[in-house]
Amino acid sequence: MAKKPLMVRPELLSRDLAGTIYIITGANSGIGFVVARQLAKQGAAAIMACRRVADGERAAREILEEFPKARLDVMELDLGSLVSVRAFAALFQNRYKRLDGLVNNAGLMHTPKGRTKDGFETQFGVNYLGPFLLTSLLTDVLKASAPARIVNVSSSYHEQALGRIGAIHFDDLNYQRRPFDSWEAYAQSKLASLMHARELARRLAESGVVAVSLNPGFVRTNLIRTSLPSWAMKVLNVVLNPFLRLGGMIEPWEGAQTTLHALLAPEVVGQSGAYFSQIGLYKDKAARLGGWPMRSPNPAAYDDDAARRLWDVSEELVGLR
């Protein structure tokens, strides 16, 4: 029997968010779209940060058809380009004077060997370094808007991805010397995202800005296209969906629940640095039930020295030092 996904308390989804502003990266589809739609429904201004602006504008029109008074702003953001990240942050701060929440949602999974525009391994660059720079550039406006929240979308695969243990390979972060392994690279990028949130929480203590990470679950989104063969994608909706559902796959609305909880639940204020998980594909059976919050089954997630080292290295890589 499939496990039931964790769901946000209904009263949180009826809160009046008028006057608040949230950035959601990758808001043109999947979890990001659902989160943007829900926040806009509750009266918040949703900044839909998208690499493909045309797709973002189509998504915004879909939301506006349902909620004509929704406050939406589609802005271009390519997390695989540090120039684009800097341009987005500058334009946002020129256009807006507050920020109540940043959702680092956009990401890639199981991509072929490749490089970002700045020469980083694709998944490490897009899933971690781009959001790291974006968060750093927006930290001051978040602090000025406190109470505010930063939500990093990680993955249960930060523990292990198809047998590849999640670890930070400081000796070769971008696969310049060792053989490339896409699932290992994905696990590294998502562990880095979790460790980033924990180090953010330490550095932003007493600032009124909460930083957390989460696993949204195995969600039926475009993200799984790169992890399934092409023939499987063609028959996914007709044939595979019932079986994948039994295997733990959930719908985008269910996958968005953990993000919405992290953004809206009042108790999260006292849980900065925590990891929240929807039901997940963990090796540890107990962890598969999820928890808001729960302890990561990967001990590397709690290596504070490594988190500080990763922060220092990341600042150098993105040009903040």
Distance, in Å, from the CA atom of 263 to the CA atom of 266, rounded to the nearest integer, reads 9
Is 15 inside any structural domain?
A: no
Q: Same domain, yes or no, for 208 and 229? A: no
Long-range contacts of 95-99 (CB under 8 A, 24+ apart): 96/21, 96/45, 96/47, 96/141, 97/141, 98/21, 98/141, 98/144, 98/145, 99/21, 99/22, 99/23, 99/138, 99/141, 99/142, 99/145, 99/148
Q: Same domain, yes or no, for 85 and 179? A: yes
Residue 82 belongs to domain spanning: 77-216+256-318
- Total structural domains within the chain: 2
Q: Same domain, yes or no, for 95 and 165? A: yes
Q: Same domain, yes or no, for 273 and 248? A: no
Is 27 inside any structural domain?
A: no
Domain boundary among 239, 254, 269: 254
Cβ burial 236-246 (10 Å sphere, 16+ → b, else e) = beeebeeebee
DSSP conformation class of 307: H
Q: Same domain, yes or no, for 139 and 114? A: yes
Is 204 inside any structural domain?
A: yes
Q: What is the average per-residue pLDDT within 241-258?
A: 77
Question: What is the tens place of the pLDDT at every residue in 199-217?
Answer: 999 999 999 999 999 999 9
Is 41 inside any structural domain?
A: no
Q: Same domain, yes or no, for 113 and 227? A: no
Is 19 inside any structural domain?
A: no
Q: Is 8 helix (H, G, I), strand (E, B) or coil?
A: coil
pTM, two decimals, is 0.93
Q: Which helix (H) or strand (E) holds 4?
A: none
Q: What is the pLDDT of residue 116?
A: 98
Q: Same domain, yes or no, for 148 and 204? A: yes
Domain boundary among 229, 254, 279: 254
Q: Same domain, yes or no, for 247 and 146? A: no
Is 24 inside any structural domain?
A: no
Q: What is the pLDDT of residue 246?
A: 47
Provide the angle, in degrees to the nearest 10, between the axes of the packed helices 304-318 and 182-203. Answer: 100
Q: What is the pLDDT of residue 241?
A: 54
Question: What is the tens place of the pLDDT at every residue in 153-169?
Answer: 999 999 999 999 999 99
DSSP conformation class of 11: G
Is 60 inside any structural domain?
A: no
Is 210 inside any structural domain?
A: yes
Which pLDDT band holds residue 61 (cuts at 50, 70, 90)? very high
Q: In sequence order, which residues have a C-beta less than 8 Å from that of residue 176 and are 6 or more positions away?
A: none
Q: What is the pLDDT of residue 284?
A: 86
Q: Same domain, yes or no, for 204 and 225? A: no
- The CATH number of the domain holding residue 312 is 3.40.50.720
Q: Enumerate the active-site residues.
A: 186
Q: Same domain, yes or no, for 175 and 236? A: no
Q: What is the pLDDT of residue 21?
A: 98
Q: Same domain, yes or no, for 133 and 230? A: no
Which pLDDT band holds residue 10 (cuts at 50, 70, 90)? very high
Q: Same domain, yes or no, for 163 and 246? A: no
Question: What is the tens place of the pLDDT at every residue in 94-146?
Answer: 999 999 999 999 999 999 999 999 999 999 999 999 999 999 999 999 999 99
